[in-house]
Amino acid sequence: MENETQQNIPLVQTTPEIPTPDPTPPPTNWSKVILFTTLGLFIIVGLIFAGIQIGKSQVLIQEAIVITPTAMLTQTTANPATSPTQIKNNTLTSIDDTWNLYSNNLLGFSIKIPKMSFEYGGVCINGKLDVAMVPVTTFDDSQGTYITYEYFNEYPINNVCKKTINDLNTIQQRANQWKNGNGNNLIVPSNWHVVIAKVENDNELEGFIKTNYGSGCKIGTKSLSPTGTYDVKILGDDLDLSETKCPINFVYALKYSPELHKAATWGVGQEVVFSSANYKQNYDSEMINSFKFTN
């Protein structure tokens, strides 16, 4: 019995452990590695190049933004036509061998003036003043313009003449020295003082006449000149020269523009003021007739 029991116990067989073989790595595909590596390098280089170009473009744009306004500002600042300090008050334009055209851009008028004129005191010979051709010039003041000579000789002292170069202060002092009551002690170079004023109507025009010629003066007739301005006559008070309040005993010019609301006047004188050599041609009339308002 005991032997049978022992025979019925099944025997457990141990299955031998089969070793697991190490995995074998797949063979390397070197052509793909090289391809992807090369492609990656191209992409990296392309990105770097694109970044450099974008950076350059931004720098150029910034430079353009900075430079362009600077150039425009410099051009505007340097342009003399836009600078009020560059605008001239008057111009002198040559017409021909005899005439210049004087234009006063500030007061708005123009007039022909001779380049040279025959003037007493233009030369001093052996201690005596004599006539000679002298250049004509202009000097502007607050009221208008003096038309006169560039130079003149003073009355001789001990047979010696002194040449004086004319300027605004000199011509103002000489032209008005009679107001001091001392007479004409110093030589007065011939001159016209063209006075300009703003006038709105006939009442203001008559006030302009009274201011320049006397309280007894009135407006006379007006006649249209070829230059588009009116020549105005002045009426006196018919009193003797010793009593009159309108002491006009000389030739004068009075111009008026109702459209531009301007008037101009000057004393021409009792004799010829501007002329050719030896007084062969009187320039005064042509000068007066050439006057016109420009603005």
Question: 63 falls in which pLDDT band (50, 70, 90)?
Answer: very low
Distance CA 54, CA 72 (A): 27
Question: 74 falls in which pLDDT band (50, 70, 90)?
Answer: very low
pTM above 0.75, yes or no: no
> Virtual CA dihedral for 152, 156, 161, 167, nearest 10 degrees?
-30
Enumerate the domain spans of the chain: 46-84, 88-293
Answer left, alpha or beta for residue 261, where phi above 0 means left and psi between -120 and 50 means alpha: left
Report pLDDT for 14.
Answer: 45
Q: Which residues of 28-58 are buried (b: 16+ CB within 10 A; e: fewer)?
A: eeeeeeeeeeeeeeeeeeeeeeeeeeeeeee
Residue-wise pLDDT for 222-245, tens only, equals 999 999 999 999 999 999 989 999
Residue-wise pLDDT for 195-228, tens only, equals 999 999 999 999 999 999 999 999 999 999 999 9
The answer, yes or no, to whether residue 78 has pLDDT greater than 50, is no
Report pLDDT for 89.
Answer: 78
Question: 177 falls in which pLDDT band (50, 70, 90)?
Answer: confident
Six token digits for residue 211: 């201011």
Residue-wise pLDDT for 113-133, tens only, equals 999 999 999 999 999 999 999
Report pLDDT for 69.
Answer: 35
